[in-house]
Amino acid sequence: MRVHVNGDLREFRDGSTVAELLTEIGTTRQGVAVALEGEVVQRGRWAEIVVADGARLEILTAVQGG
């Protein structure tokens, strides 16, 4: 399946969860948050939420600013 991750279309194994996607991408777990289709996915649910083909996933972290 293909998922839009931070705007880039990427290939993943069908039926992957949010947690599996993060592992595949290699994102650090600390200080990040995930939105799936514009809704926040709480950290505790990363391992259970399955991502659909064509979904839009945003991974955000804190950077210098403001």
Partner 1 sequence: MTTESTVPATTAEPLRIGSYELDSRLIIGTGGASNLSVLERALVASGTELTTVAMRRADVDGGTGVLDLLRTLGIRLLPNTAGCRSAAEAVLTAKLAREALGTDLIKLEVHADDRTLLPEPSETLDAAEQLVADGFTVLAYTGDDPVIALRLEEAGCAAVMPLGAPIGTGLGIRNPHNIELIVARAGVPIVLDAGIGTASDAALAMELGCSAVLLSTAVTRAQDPERMAKAMRLAVESGRLAREAGRVPRRFWAQASSPPR
Instruction: Give the interface with partner 1 as residue ranges (CB under 8 A).
Output: 6-7, 25-28, 30-35, 38, 40, 42-43, 58-66
Please, what is the minimum distance in Å from the beta carbon of residue 60 to partner 1? 5
Judged by beta carbon, residue 14 or residue 65, the one nearer partner 1 is 65
Residue 66 CB partners (closer than 8 Å, separation 6+): none
Q: By C-alpha distance, which of 5, 1, 37, 35 is closest to 16? A: 1
Q: Which is nearer to partner 1, 14 or 30 (CB)?
A: 30
